[in-house]
Amino acid sequence: MSTPEREFDLQVNGARLRMQVLGADDAPVLLVHHGAPGLGSRSEPVRSFGPFADTYRVVTFDARGSGESEDVPPYTHAQWVADIDAIRESLGVEQVVMAGGSYGGFLAMEYTLAHPDRVSALVLRDTAANTDHDHLAVERARSTDRVPIDEWTISRIGTGAFADDTEFERYWRGILPLYDHAYDPEAVERKARATRYHYATHNAAFGQNMPGYDLTGRLGEIRCPTLVVVGRHDWRTPVPASQAIADGIPGAELVVFEHSGHSPQLEEPEEFQRVVRDFLRRAGVGRR
């Protein structure tokens, strides 16, 4: 039996967002936010959480300023959180399971803090509650023996300092080899070619939003069941960043994937799905 799937445009707070929904309309909603503003899109959440459409209504979308959605500023955490809630409201549901990876994890936590009654469970992947570990990414990029990474690329990690999409693509191609545990040059090239580049979104995210980003003092306010997962070899948001989140959220669970980099949901998909399904079952979220 095939899983129902549809793609459509949704007007949200003055911007057209591209949506992709998998699963039955009467299933509990699993709302997934992609990472990498200006680089990411719904394609990763569809691959990562598509298998969950047998039990959940998996809702994915390109955030404003990313993928196929409109470039309509502001690209702020407050605006992206408001967009998440507008999507939830459009679905006609009171609560969702909120999931997010990397920068999408920042927004998943921000949404949960802003709308605690709307989140039945929280799934965070390879993310952080502040910028304390960002310097380690620069150190890893400079010391890696995987591929040569030029100083121009290293100097722009997390800065949001790109003049146009051409510069932005140059940066992305330069840093992409660090993301996966097992380096595959052909996979890197496929990812680079498939990316839609929105440099202004990325500049706002990292040049304006991130310097003041710090949720560590508020993690204790998150009371819903929370799962935190991370790849052991994540160069961008290392294990200590996830450990800090799990330590700060009461009752949160931490699972480290030993054979993954920044994307255990793609590098160890079967184990990722098993862990998340088990967590959501124990959290009481799913069909009864």
Q: Give tens-digit pLDDT for 218-238.
A: 999 999 999 999 999 999 999
| pLDDT confidence bin for 287, thresholds 50/70/90 | low
Dump pLDDT digits (tens) for 26-52: 999 999 999 999 999 999 999 999 999
pLDDT value at residue 70:
98
Q: Which of 102, 104, 101 is nearest to 80 (CA)?
A: 104
- The answer to whether residue 42 sits within a structural domain is yes
Domain membership of residue 287 (yes or no) is no
Instruction: Examine the domain organization and report whether 118 and 74 are in the same domain.
Output: yes
Strand, helix or coil at 178?
Answer: helix
Q: 221 and 131 in contact (C-beta within 8 Å)? A: no
Mean pLDDT within 235-264: 97
- pLDDT confidence of 2, banded at 50, 70, 90? low
Q: How many folded domains does the chain comprise? A: 2
In a domain, 161, yes or no: yes
What DSSP character marks residue 182? S
Is residue 196 located within the same domain as residue 252?
no
Q: Same domain, yes or no, for 152 and 129?
A: no
Q: So what's the pLDDT on residue 5?
A: 83
Give the pTM.
0.97
Question: Which pLDDT score, from 0 to 100, does residue 286 have?
Answer: 77
Task: Out of 172, 205, 238, pick the residue that ends a domain.
Answer: 205
Residue 123 has pLDDT above 60, yes or no: yes
Is it the case that residue 92 has pLDDT exceeding 70?
yes
The yes-or-no verdict on residue 156 having pLDDT over 70 is yes
Examine the domain organization and report whether 17 and 148 are in the same domain.
no
Distance of alpha carbon 184 from alpha carbon 47, whole angstroms: 18
* Token pair listed for 228: 């935190």
Is residue 288 included in any domain, yes or no? no
Domain limits for position 140: 134-205
Encode burial over 261-276: b for 16+ CB neighbours within 10 A, e otherwise. bbbbbbbbeebbeebb
Q: What is the mean pLDDT of the chain?
A: 96
Residue 92 belongs to a domain: yes
Residue 126 lies in a domain: yes
Cα–Cα separations (whole angstroms), residue 287 to 5, 24, 26, 158? 19, 11, 9, 40
Instruction: Indicate if 38 and 102 belong to the same structural domain.
Output: yes
| Close Cβ partners of 92 (under 8 Å, ≥ 6 residues apart) | none
* E strands present in 73-204: 96-101, 119-125
Give the separation between CA 14 and CA 70, rounded to whole angstroms: 10
Summarised one tens digit per residue, pLDDT across range 125-151 is: 999 999 999 999 999 999 999 999 999
- Of 205, 223, 247, the residue that ends a domain is 205
Confidence check: pLDDT of 192 > 80: yes
Classify residue 15: in a domain, yes or no: yes
